[in-house]
């Protein structure tokens, strides 16, 4: 029982990181109907910016952990958002009126470019980081095994819940959220009503990039090592999570992230770790067979 609880905590923590990345996918898809395949690399860039920010703060003598974390978070969100805005301007806006495959190819090209861009600037070697948030407490102990809940895991889960609630309120209760939902339904009519469609779409990319920066910081703190390739792997799994939960649904993206994290963790704990990805994608296939729109997704209605 103690081992099961420990894996549950680990799975929820990993799923929270996947869920934050998946929200970026689902927000962009919900407005322009396209998958931003460069989003995984935006997450990777957020992790690298966080790493560089920690090094700079250490050189400046800022060692108070809460202040350092807050400054790193703000810097990562700001600079990563610039990358998200740039991807939208270069890879999507010029092709918005083109055939549907063109922006997809452009996004894949941007993904490859960003991956190699970071490899050239930072090198191909992994970047280790000493533990920043340490400590925790033990909840249960039995049969020589103790269930530990680290402070970092608590922070990751709490931050994810707060961000999820905040973005749900923003989209459901604010003028920006109404503009985003209007763009999702009909961009032409939205523009005729006086809403700046280009600004709304750019803001959505910026918001998704900011969430990816938070996920990148959490990933770096949790695993303590990053490289230029983490964006591809995490991006594919987060995209899988978005599809599993229902692409276009924010709660669905978070639910899908949690499910992918739990599946990977429990499969690795009780079965062969080499097949954890096979298990996750098998669950995705089964869900899509019986519910093609995902767990919380809604069927699209064709306009005629």
Place 24 in a pLDDT band, splitting at 50, 70 and 90: confident
**Domain residue extents for the chain:** 2-290
Q: What pLDDT, on a 0 to 100 scale, did the predictor assign at position 217?
A: 94
pLDDT digit string, tens, across residues 198-215: 899 999 999 999 999 999
Task: Tell me which of 2.50.20, 3.40.50, 1.10.10, 1.10.3470 is the CATH number of domain 2-290.
Answer: 1.10.3470
In this structure, the strands spanning 136-142 and 225-226 are: unpaired
Spatial CA neighbour of 231 closest among 89, 83, 96, 90: 83
For the chain, give the mean pLDDT.
Answer: 88
How many angstroms separate the CA atoms of 247 and 28, rounded?
10
Phi, psi torsion values for 193, nearest 5 degrees: -85, 0
pLDDT score at 143? 66
Report pLDDT digits (tens) over 98-111: 777 888 888 889 99
Instruction: With a cut of 80, say whether residue 11 has pLDDT above it.
Output: yes
148 or 33, greater pLDDT: 148
Contact 235, 40 (CB under 8 A): yes
Predicted confidence (pLDDT) per residue in 229-242, tens digit: 899 888 888 888 98
% of residues, the chain, pLDDT over 70 = 97
């Amino acid at each position: 029982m103690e081992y099961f609880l420990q894996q549950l905590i680990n799975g929820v923590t990993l799923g929270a990181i996947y869920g934050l990345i998946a929200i970026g996918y689902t927000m962009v898809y919900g407005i322009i109907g396209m998958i931003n395949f460069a989003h995984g690399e935006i997450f990777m860039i957020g992790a690298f910016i966080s790493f560089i920010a920690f090094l700079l703060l250490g050189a400046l003598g800022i060692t108070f952990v809460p202040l350092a974390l807050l400054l790193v978070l703000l810097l990562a969100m700001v600079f990563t958002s610039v990358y998200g805005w740039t991807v939208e301007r270069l890879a999507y806006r010029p092709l918005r009126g083109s055939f549907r495959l063109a922006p997809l190819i452009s996004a894949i090209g941007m993904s490859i470019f960003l991956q190699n861009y970071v490899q050239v600037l930072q090198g191909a070697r992994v970047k280790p980081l000493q533990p920043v948030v340490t400590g925790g407490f033990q909840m249960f102990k039995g049969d020589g095994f103790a269930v530990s809940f680290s402070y970092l895991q608590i922070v990751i889960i709490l931050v994810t819940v707060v961000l999820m609630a905040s973005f749900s309120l923003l989209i459901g209760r604010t003028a920006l959220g109404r503009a985003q939902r209007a763009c999702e339904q009909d961009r032409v009519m939205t523009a005729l009503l006086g809403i700046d469609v280009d600004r709304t779409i750019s803001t959505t990319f910026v918001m998704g990039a900011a969430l990816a920066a938070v996920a990148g910081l959490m990933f770096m703190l949790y695993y303590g090592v990053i490289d230029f390739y983490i964006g591809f792997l995490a991006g594919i799994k987060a995209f899988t999570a978005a599809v599993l939960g229902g692409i276009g649904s924010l709660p669905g993206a978070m639910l899908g992230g949690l499910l992918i994290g739990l599946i990977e963790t429990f499969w690795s704990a009780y079965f062969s770790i080499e097949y954890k990805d096979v298990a996750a994608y098998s669950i995705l296939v089964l869900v899509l067979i019986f519910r093609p729109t995902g767990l919380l997704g809604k069927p699209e209605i064709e306009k005629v």
